[in-house]
Every structure is written in C-alpha cells, then in structure tokens.
C-alpha cells in the first residue's frame, strides 16, 4: 500500500518518512496526554464505556427515551427515533409549519442528491 504525506508526496508504507511521521504522532499524543491538567479533557467512565461499544450519546438518549415510553414511528421506510421527534416538535414551535415544511424539503432534496 501507499501513504500520502502532508506535503502531498505518495510513498510506499516502508518509506522512512512514513515511519518518522508515525513516531512523531505517537510522541505528540503522549506529550498531550501528560500535559493535561487534572480532569481537563477527560471523558467520564460511563461515556467511555458507551463509546467503546460503538454507541453515541444520542443513541443512549434514544434508548432512555424509548424505555420511558416515547414511541418509535415510521415515516416511509425511515424509522423516526424519539430524539428526532422531540427535535421536530421543537422546530415546529420555533419556525412554525412553513419552516418545518422548508426543512423537510431541504432534507428530501439533500437525501435525493446523495444517490
């Protein structure tokens, strides 16, 4: 395989410049770790465990809302989760029906343009 260096050069994996950059990154990350103050930039243990399982804070919040009784509902072939339902209600209150229709139109156009 090949690697692309910061200056744009394309080199093989065994190139000494690739190894030098990898060692430099490792050293920099260690220095950043040791230079952190107490609790500065640290993530609580519960969030680390949740992210380690591949779950985001939004999926955790969705799961808690479902456990509290908020329903999941379908819009076409898309499942609308409780966080999105709450966001839609908030948008409805803030921008009204016309704004919500505009947001829906923008979503549909952007979704169709990705295909």
pLDDT digits (tens, 9 = 90+) for 1-18: 788 877 888 888 888 887
What pairs with residue 95 in β-bridges?
A: none
Per-residue pLDDT at 43:
46
Residues 18 and 10 sit within 8 Å (Cβ to Cβ)? no
More confident residue, 64 or 25: 64
Mean pLDDT across 33-52: 48
User: In terms of Cα–Cα distance, which of 115, 111, 58 is closest to 86?
Assistant: 58
DSSP 41: T
Helix, strand, or coil (residue 114): coil
Per-residue pLDDT at 52:
52
Distance CA 104, CA 97 (A): 10
């Amino acid at each position: 395989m090949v690697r692309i260096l910061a200056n744009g050069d394309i080199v093989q994996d065994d190139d000494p410049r690739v190894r030098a950059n990898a060692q430099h990154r490792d050293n920099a990350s260690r220095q950043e770790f040791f230079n952190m103050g107490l609790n500065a930039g640290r993530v609580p243990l519960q969030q680390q465990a949740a992210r380690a399982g591949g779950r985001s804070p939004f999926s955790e919040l969705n799961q808690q809302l479902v456990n509290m009784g908020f329903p999941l509902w379908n819009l076409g072939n898309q499942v609308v989760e409780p966080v999105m339902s709450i966001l839609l209600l908030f948008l409805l209150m803030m921008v009204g029906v016309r704004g919500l229709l505009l947001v829906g139109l923008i979503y549909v156009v952007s979704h169709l343009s990705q295909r």
